[in-house]
Amino acid sequence: MTEVDGWELPEQFEAHARRFLAGEAGEPVVPRVAATVVLLRPADAGFEAYVLRRAASMAFAAGMYAFPGGGVDPADAGADLGWAGPSPEEWARRLGRPPAEAQAVVCAAVREVFEEAGVLLAEGATLPESDELEGDRQRLVRRDVHLAEVLARRGLVLRSDLLGAWARWITPEFEARRFDTYFFVAALPDNQLPRDVSGEADLTMWVRPADAIAGFEAGRIAMLPPTVVLLRELAEYPDIAGVLAAVPDRDAATAVIPRPEIASDGTLRIRLR
C-alpha cells in the first residue's frame, strides 16, 4: 500500500468520500473506459509535457491540470480504418482487453489528442495553423463524425506505433463520474505543432515534469493522483528516448485504483492499491 506523497483529497471530494466510507453512498458507478495522452517534446535540459487546465465549468476535475483525454467511442471498436503499428491483437495483450475494445482505446487516444491539442497521430498528417483538417476536428468534437470517417476521407493511416502504453488508473469508487483510463505517452511528430484548441481547457502549456511537480508541491498547480504520479515517473528520465525505451517494461493492463482512507488524525488521504 503506497501513499501518494503530498496529495490530500480535494475539499470538493471529501464529503463524497466520507459518505462512501460510511456505507451511505450506494453502489459505485461503473467506470467509463477512456484514454489520455501525454504529449512530449524536446526542450533544454530534457523534455516537456503538454498539459491543460480543465475549465471551471467542467463537471469532472474542474480546475485541475491534466493531459488531453476522454472517453472511448464504441463505434471505433468495429471500425475499418487504415492502421500502422502494433495490431489490435497486440494492443489487446498490452491493455488487457479484447482486440476490438483495445482498438477503440487506441482510437480514443488518437482522437482526444487531436481534439484537445490539434495534433493528429496519423501517417500523412501535417497540421499548420490553417490546416483544412480543422473542420474535421470540430466535427469530431461535436460527435458529428467518427475518427475512422475522418481518416478514410483524408486517406490517412492511424499510427498506433507512435503511442506507448504507460499506465491504467480507475477513478475512486466514491466519485459520481468514474473512468477506467489508459495513459499513453507520445513524442510530438516533427511536422506538427499543438494548438490551444480545447474547449474543455482555459489554459494550456508545455512544462518540464520536474517543474510541474515543483508547482504542485508549492500549491500553485492542482492535479489528481494519476497526473502527479505519472509526472514524477517521467521526471526520472533524461530525455524522450529514455521514456519511450521504458514503455515495454510498463504494465498498462493492471489498474491502479486510488482509495480514500481515514488517517489516525481523522484526515482523509488517498492510497493506491
**Which residues fall within 8 angstroms of residue 173, CB to CB, at 6 or more apart?**
20, 28, 257, 259
For residue 201, the model assigns a pLDDT of 64
Cβ(171)–Cβ(31) under 8 Å?
yes
Q: For residue 65, give the H/E element and its range.
A: strand 65-66
The CA distance from 26 to 111, in Å, is 34
CATH number for the domain including 20? 3.90.79.10
Angle at 173 between CA 74 and CA 203, to 5 degrees: 70
Residue 151, CA distances (Å) to 34, 109, 115, 174 in order: 20, 14, 14, 38
Confidence check: pLDDT of 185 > 90? yes
**Angle 99-117/134-141 helices, nearest 10 degrees?**
120
For residue 27, the model assigns a pLDDT of 82
In this prediction, residue 198 has a pLDDT band, given cuts at 50, 70 and 90, of: low
What is the share, in percent, of the chain residues with pLDDT greater than 90?
Answer: 52
Helices (H) and strands (E) in the chain, counts: 8, 13
What is the share, in percent, of the chain residues with pLDDT greater than 70?
Answer: 87
Cβ(184)–Cβ(159) under 8 Å?
no
pTM comes to 0.89
Cβ(185)–Cβ(175) under 8 Å?
no
Strand stretches in 101-246, DSSP E = 122-123, 157-159, 164-170, 179-187, 201-207
Kindly report the backbone phi and psi dihedral angles of residue 189, in degrees, each rounded to the nearest multiple of 5, phi listed first: -60, 145
Confidence check: pLDDT of 231 > 70? yes
Kindly report the backbone phi and psi dihedral angles of residue 187, in degrees, each rounded to the nearest multiple of 5, phi listed first: -80, 140
In this prediction, residue 120 has a pLDDT band, given cuts at 50, 70 and 90, of: very high
Confidence check: pLDDT of 172 > 80? yes
151 sits in the region (left: phi over 0; alpha: psi -120 to 50; else beta) called alpha
**Hey, is 181 helix, strand or coil?**
strand
Mean pLDDT of 93-118: 96
**Which residues fall within 8 angstroms of residue 260, CB to CB, at 6 or more apart?**
9, 17, 20, 21, 172, 174, 268, 269, 270, 271
Mean pLDDT of 49-74: 77
Number of domains in the chain: 1
Query: Whose grid coordinates read 511536422?
Result: 191
For residue 59, the model assigns a pLDDT of 46
- The mean pLDDT of the chain is 86
The CA distance from 131 to 9, in Å, is 42
The parent domain of residue 25 ranges over: 2-272
Query: Whose grid coordinates read 481534439?
Result: 115
In this prediction, residue 176 has a pLDDT band, given cuts at 50, 70 and 90, of: confident
Mean pLDDT of 215-236: 91
